[in-house]
A and B are shown apart, each in its own frame.
With several copies, the nearest count.
Chain A
Amino acid sequence: MEMHSKKRIEILLEAPAQKRLTDLLDRLDVTGYTVLPVIGGRGHHGVWSRDGLPSAAGAMVSVAIIVAEEKLDEVLEPVFELVRRHIGIVTISDVMVIRGERF
């Protein structure tokens, strides 16, 4: 099958800031995004876990965005600007998609 090369940005971000990020993505010119759950982890800020948390504070979420290579920087810069102020990490990887015109 014919496949098209795209970039996948994954943003692991503290949960209280999730809406800020998705609002930003709504303003940016991305075709979509997907929110993934995360249940715990460890980093420079210590250990955390969703277990038993009654609110978003103390938890993280992950947001994945598939973008065309040429739009990568355009998306990455404002996203990173936001993430920089929060607890979070951004990773970028290569993916192939089938309906390339969609992204």
Chain B
Amino acid sequence: MSIVDLAVQNLASPMVLFFALGVAAALLRSDLSVPEAAAKFLALYLMLAIGFKGGVEVSKSGLDPAMGLTIGAGILLSFAIPLAGYFFIRMTTRLGAIDAAAVAAHYGSISIVTFVAATEIVRGLGLAYEGYLIAVAAVMETPAIVAALLLARRAAPAAGDGPREGMGPLLREVATNGSIVILVGAFLIGWITGERGMSMISPFIVDPFRGILCLFLLDMGLVAGRGLRQGARELSPPLIAFGIYFPLVSASLAAALVVPLGLSVGGAALFITLAASASYIAVPAAMRLALPEANPAIYLTLSLGVTFPFNLSLGIPLYAAVAQRIAG
């Protein structure tokens, strides 16, 4: 399938369209909303399902020496991308050091929903992928936060450091974050129970998965649209541009590692997507603790309102096409 076909087909998928519906509803000021408890529950479901599936894949394929390597590469990327991001932001926008560091952290970390959407596209192309990429996703959540904190402290020594809060407690909090615990926990359970476990719960975690993803994307669209309505004025054109070109920078860094890591085509597409995706669930919460001085309207709007839709609509097909070129 050509990249244009892929992009068109992706744009006309229920997932992308439900996200667009959410954005449209928010911009029209509709009172359409997903209850908070339902949104939390859907997020939990998606992470449980994706973690479990990854674990089952690993149990099927057995331990792959490339797994450790790819995990290491993921950690490296998660740490390096914020440094690059910080540099670009400071060069091209007027954001201060603290805000720049906070934004950068989001791009070094990952968005599980972007990853999930990419798995759907990869599967739609008939490609398989390495199950351990779930583990890679999990380890990439946190290093970016550390990198951002170091950047912020170097730039503004007094910032990012409450009277009583050091880096230690913060990292502990981030590492025991619910989304990481359920992702890793479900991965391990999938690994342990393998295909027997999968046969028991697949009517719950596999069959309705895409439909539930649509509903969650509708909600994300609503939240993103609301954020855009509120936060758009916080975003200067260079910052919006950053939200679109920088994922391509991150994607390129990841793409360079695909061949050395020996990833499959599907795996490559997902690995590049991880690098290109920006967190909008775990990192925003962490930034409120680590860098409370940073303006949340900036980083949330940029990550959820600009980069997420870009990746969902055009980015992922592009990363899949690139993966087909280099790993195919």
Contact = CB atoms under 8 A, between A and B. Distances in A.
- Any A–B CB pair closer than 8 Å: yes
Interface residues of A, number: 24
B35 to A, nearest CB: 7
A55 B282 contact: yes
Given A19-B31, A58-B296, A85-B162, A53 B36 contact: yes
A101 interface: no
A56 B285 contact: yes
A96 B294 CA distance: 28
* Interface SS, A side: loop
Q: How large is the interface on B (under 10, 10 to 19, 20 to 34, 35 or more residues)?
A: 35 or more
Interface stretch (B37-45, B56-64, B67-75, B81-89): B37-45
A71 to B, nearest CB: 20
Contacts of A82: 162
A54 B224 CA distance: 12
A102 interface: no
Given A16-B285, A20-B165, A55-B285, A47 B230 contact: yes
Interface in B161-184: 162-163, 165, 173, 179
A94 interface: no
Given A16-B286, A46-B231, A55-B282, 7 more contacts: A20-B165, A52-B36, A54-B281, A55-B40, A55-B43, A57-B300, A58-B296
23 contacts: A16-B289, A17-B288, A46-B230, A46-B231, A47-B230, A49-B226, A52-B222, A53-B36, A53-B39, A53-B40, A54-B42, A54-B43, A54-B281, A55-B179, A57-B285, A57-B288, A57-B300, A58-B284, A59-B36, A81-B163, A82-B162, A86-B292, A87-B288
Interface of B: 31, 33-36, 39-40, 42-43, 162-163, 165, 173, 179, 216, 219-220, 222-223, 226, 230-231, 281-282, 284-289, 292-293, 296-297, 300
